A and B are shown apart, each in its own frame.
Chain A
């Protein structure tokens, strides 16, 4: 038994906003944006946030792994939906992990992801580390072009690791390249040349050297150099200064995803692991008010196929979005007229939410011990018309079952932040069904019999109180796994 990375997964939202449409809309104001108007950025659907993306990345990482072994969940982000409600706790609930699981949030810096990973690697037990980010940005800001939404997750613990930590180093420095407060809402940054020269190029190299020295390796031994940075060619300049071969510099996924902030070092690490061969070494750098450096060696266990989608699979699960206004509306950058039907009160009774956490958060149903019928939600009296036994149901998880569309519609009357509202009856082959929302689906793809995967999403946003409630929705099964 060895300690290390046992598995990994990722999540990138399906929508990819074309940067050209952002540039076309905004370059009248800032002509420099034209130069950034290439490629695409991952764009969260209206019902996605760091919590839901972390759940998906975690599920991806847990494919083929027994969840009972997980003893802790750490969630990293600088864009948590809740300031005072444990976001990792929502993830733990959605994953239906045991109540003895320790969960905690790590925030406050763009290197929150690497810090969470490093802490897990330096701890005992089995920790599921997830990092997710969905940054707000002003219209016509470079950040709007450079960032993307996404998440990654790694399972750390004792077992047969796919990669082992050889060495690490960390540095703290109150170097404020940018900041964000509750009042500012979006990032306020300083000059890029200063960030590059006085920040990255000054703070990072000694940490890289320290990690390599500890491991007894040289820069030339690095096969994959993971360092997120939105400044062009910064990773290449860093590799050159540190003596790392230029070929080792990993693609920062700028063209296809954008920078996923606190999650990006882990997103890039997962992407590297998907391609790395046994014996190769990965150097990960997370920068933000200091630096985290981790040096991994990939093991032969990494060759095993798991069925995860990972970064590559999720990048392939893609729908081009060319409607910049939709992006602005989803992110409340512009206020659109939502109509009177949107005014319905979305108050969540927190007591009822807690009481129904199994059905709502974990998507747990019941299995009748007498007749074997699966049903959702769990109830006192069995739904099977030929059974009706009382108090015979044991909890039965439904979240990872594949459902099938039994009936559907695309509703243009009811309020939805992204009309038409697609929903219908989802039927699980072994038993159980529920009338539920669909997500990540195009109207033309709806058909009876279509296989659907359950995804944890924002159900309603209660603007009156700033609350959001989560539930599971059905999305078309992605090609290639999951």
Chain B
């Protein structure tokens, strides 16, 4: 296996816009909001950036194709800019591009920015969109909740979990994220809710009710990365470096081969193993101190706890109900509110997760700051459907070099 990029790249600065229904903002305005914060945090000027990556998922709703919108919005000085798209994992893809550029030595300082402006569709939920000329002829008109809801059916069948127990654990996931979101001033949803509200909410896609689904938000997040050496030369002392960055992409075996049982993410398990190896983590449940996962739906977060080898297989319901992943639990998950409450502006989400890790590790997370400063943080950014998806995992941590 390749040696990987552990500790080769440091985060120089980060920024994140407020997420939510930003009726007064274009995508370009949101980009600038995140960028200005990141640039100020990095303590550099625009002309010091060598290359940039833009991550967006549903560009037809806002900026359109290509990297030009980022270059124009930020007035980047004719540098190489690339637009990447990989479903809801587009943000981590932008980060990967920038990190790899620095790790390779092709760039000294690189920028990754994710953005999405989803609230211009005229209706709630994600935009309705085509799946491609050929897929449209055979695929169901599947929505995001409708595809992820199926995890629950398969999970119940595999583990013999009762619908009630599973639904209660899923409800706990959402209640926890609302609690966390209430302490985050940039979060889209900041209200606390109780279990009953979740259980009695209108059904969206069986068994996912309204509160099992994340917010659809406008927002942007941004990272500026460089090498640890350059970061130090720029005066930075507390460095957060990238320990691992892995991506696993479905090759059709889940969708077409009967080896997959539908109750978990094949990609997540593969990406997690690779990421732990790259970061040198042997016992993730004990060694990871903070996790941000792609909780687009409560059931996604539940099964992902197992796919990341944090909970034993079939054991997520118990861990969740025991409060293991609560903000004051052993391994907080979505301490910033997650996709559920911080919000899910598709292209920004992966970078937003890393932003939270960065703040927590530097002790800058305000009211929601974890008491014991986290040392190893993991983000899990998923795109697509359970039966066909892309899974990005990043591990960041304090630089000990």
Residues of A within 8 A of B (CB): 339-341, 343-346, 348-349, 352-353, 356, 359-360, 373, 375-377, 379, 383-385, 405-416, 420-421, 423-425, 427-428, 431-437, 443, 446, 448-449, 459-460, 469, 471
Contact = CB atoms under 8 A, between A and B. Distances in A.
B133 to A, nearest CB: 5
B205 A360 contact: no
Rank and list the top 5 A-B pairs by shortest CB-CB distance, nearest first: A411-B146, A407-B150, A423-B140, A448-B157, A414-B143
A379 to B, nearest CB: 8
Contact of B143 (A379, A413, A425): A413
A471 B138 contact: yes
B345 interface: no
A352 B257 contact: no
Given A408-B150, A435-B387, A416 B130 contact: no
23 contacts: A344-B129, A353-B137, A375-B256, A383-B253, A383-B257, A406-B154, A406-B261, A411-B146, A411-B149, A412-B202, A412-B203, A414-B141, A415-B128, A415-B141, A420-B206, A423-B140, A425-B262, A431-B257, A435-B142, A435-B255, A436-B140, A437-B141, A446-B153
A378 B237 CA distance: 57
B140 A443 contact: no
Contacts of A460: 136, 141
Given A346-B136, A383-B256, A471-B138, 19 more contacts: A340-B121, A340-B123, A343-B128, A348-B137, A356-B134, A373-B257, A383-B253, A385-B259, A407-B150, A410-B205, A411-B145, A411-B146, A411-B204, A413-B145, A415-B128, A416-B141, A425-B387, A431-B257, A459-B137
Interface residues of B, number: 46
A421 B134 contact: no
Contacts of A408: 150, 153
Given A340-B122, A409-B205, A411-B205, A383 B133 contact: no
B256 A434 contact: yes
Contact of B258 (A344, A359, A407, A431): A431
A348 B139 CA distance: 13
Nearest to A471: B138
Contacts of A449: 157
B77 to A, nearest CB: 40
Contacts of A352: 133-134, 137
Report which residue of A341, A379, A416, A435 has the largest number of chain B beta carbons within 10 angstroms of its beta carbon.
A435
B401 interface: no
B128 A409 contact: no
B256 A432 contact: yes
A340 B128 CA distance: 9
Contact of B257 (A384, A416, A420): A384
B138 A359 contact: yes
A405 B261 CA distance: 11
Report which residue of B122, B138, B202 has the largest number of chain A beta carbons within 10 angstroms of its beta carbon.
B138
A412 B257 contact: no
A423 B142 contact: yes
A371 to B, nearest CB: 11
B284 interface: no
Given A407-B153, A408-B150, A420-B206, A376 B256 contact: yes
Main secondary structure of the interface of A (DSSP, over half): mixed
Contact of A339 (B123, B206, B208): B123
B156 interface: yes
B150 A425 contact: yes
A436 B139 CA distance: 6
A344 B125 CA distance: 15
Contacts of A356: 134, 137
A377 B139 CA distance: 12
Given A413-B143, A433-B258, A360 B204 contact: no
B11 interface: no
Contacts of A425: 150, 154, 262, 387
A413 B140 contact: no
A448 B153 contact: yes
B235 interface: no
Nearest to A438: B140
B253 A385 contact: yes
A412 B149 CA distance: 12
Report which residue of A346, A408, A409, A436 has the largest number of chain B beta carbons within 10 angstroms of its beta carbon.
A409
B231 interface: no
A198 B143 CA distance: 58
B151 interface: yes
Given A341-B128, A443-B206, A434 B156 contact: no
A449 B262 CA distance: 12
B150 A409 contact: yes
Contacts of B386: 407
A356 B136 CA distance: 12
Contacts of B203: 410, 412
Contacts of A349: 133
A190 B67 CA distance: 68
Nearest to A345: B130
A383 B252 contact: yes
Interface string B235-276: 000000000000000001101111101110000000000000
A346 B128 CA distance: 12
A344 B262 CA distance: 28
A384 B142 CA distance: 25
Given A339-B123, A407-B154, A436 B130 contact: no
Nearest to B129: A344
B190 to A, nearest CB: 24
B299 to A, nearest CB: 11
Nearest to A470: B137
Given A359-B138, A410-B205, A415-B141, A344 B128 contact: yes
Contacts of B147: 409, 435
A370 to B, nearest CB: 15
B254 to A, nearest CB: 9
Interface in B97-145: 121-123, 125, 128-130, 133-134, 136-143, 145
Contacts of B137: 348, 352-353, 356, 360, 459, 469, 471
Contact of B146 (A414, A459, A471): A414
A424 B146 CA distance: 9
A23 B252 CA distance: 52
Nearest to A449: B157
Contact of B138 (A360, A379, A414): A360
A428 B257 CA distance: 10
B70 to A, nearest CB: 28
A345 B129 CA distance: 9
B20 to A, nearest CB: 21
Contacts of A416: 141
A49 B252 CA distance: 33
A411 B204 CA distance: 6
